[in-house]
Homo-oligomer: A and B are copies of this chain.
Amino acid sequence: MTVHLKDIAAYTGVSIKTVSNVVNGNYEHVGPKTRTLVLEAIKKLNYKPNVAARHLRKAPVGVLAYAFPDLANPYFAEVGEAIVAVANQQGYTVLLDFTSAQRDKELNVLTGLQPHLLDGVILDSHALDLEDIVLNDTQRPIVLLGERLFGASVDHILIDNVAASYTATKHLLSLGKRRIAAIGVQQCRSEAPSLRLQGFIQALTEEGLAVDEALLLEGGLWHRADGAAAMRRLLSLDEPPDAVCCFNDLMALGALSVLNESSYRVPGDIAIIGIDDIEDGRYANPALSTIAPDKHEIARLAVTLLVERIKGTRNGPPECIKAPFRLCPRASTLG
């Protein structure tokens, strides 16, 4: 028996409009208690949204989407390039969808676009909630990238973020640096900053070093300008750091530009390292040390799993796979 919105409404005693709001992720006018009530009823009655859309589903069209949050960060362009290359080898066209980390745009790529348009989506989400994924039932397979929505019951590819920043910080410690700052520490919807902070603190703690709160700086949008602003604040301290671990390369490049205009020498006075290994950093002056996620492996895994789900050759439970990364020490730490 097909369960409809009105059945959920009758079961919970809330209006159809409210049930619809929960199903469509419009939580503004729905209190947390009602939301939980409706979500539990949806699970209990085994309600499947978009059954109509499912009946409309057609043969594969050979098109995948890669939805990513930030066009200004070459990391996503480099991953996108790798995804396009792998997908093309497997006969798929890839459309890139730039979401600005906005919830409505991320929802749009999952459910809003024409139902026949896409066979599947690779989504680096920065705004959706777990329910958005769980409730999504357009039968359009999804592979998640990045540090959010763990337990969303879809395949998920990422790197070990704690180990990445731990490795970067250990590298700075191995060079004799002791007063190490971090740029990119913040509360936000992605878990990347807190995981990277965790690895940073772990490395310092293992070395018997205390964490100085004054050396933990936010990084705004994680762009060059944010790294530059944070570096200026660090240089204005009575006791500036002797090294900086930036939680991505763009912030590190911004920080580096401030150091280049200062009287501090890199890496003698202040060493600097990032995470991402974007091409930009390899051509910087001095060249930027970094942690390099294996972008080709991330792309290969994401496309392969997605295509297998589309073709139905993979039917097991969702997998969460960690792609490898490696330390790339360059002149910004080694001199």
Residues of A within 8 A of B (CB): 61, 63, 65, 71-72, 74, 77-78, 80-81, 84, 93-98, 100, 105, 108, 113-114, 116-117, 224, 228, 253-254, 256-257, 260, 279-280, 282-285, 287
Contact = CB atoms under 8 A, between A and B. Distances in A.
A134 B57 CA distance: 34
A81, A224, A284, most chain B CB atoms within 10 A: A284
Given A114-B61, A114-B116, A285-B260, A98 B80 contact: yes
A72 B61 contact: no
25 contacts: A61-B114, A63-B113, A63-B114, A65-B95, A71-B81, A71-B84, A72-B78, A72-B81, A77-B77, A84-B100, A94-B98, A95-B96, A96-B96, A96-B98, A114-B114, A114-B117, A117-B117, A228-B283, A253-B283, A256-B283, A257-B285, A257-B287, A260-B285, A284-B284, A285-B285
Number of copies: 2
Nearest to A73: B77
Contacts of A257: 283-285, 287
Given A97-B96, A117-B117, A71 B77 contact: yes
Given A77-B77, A95-B95, A253-B283, 4 more contacts: A71-B77, A74-B74, A256-B283, A285-B285
Given A257-B283, A283-B253, A285-B284, A72 B77 contact: yes
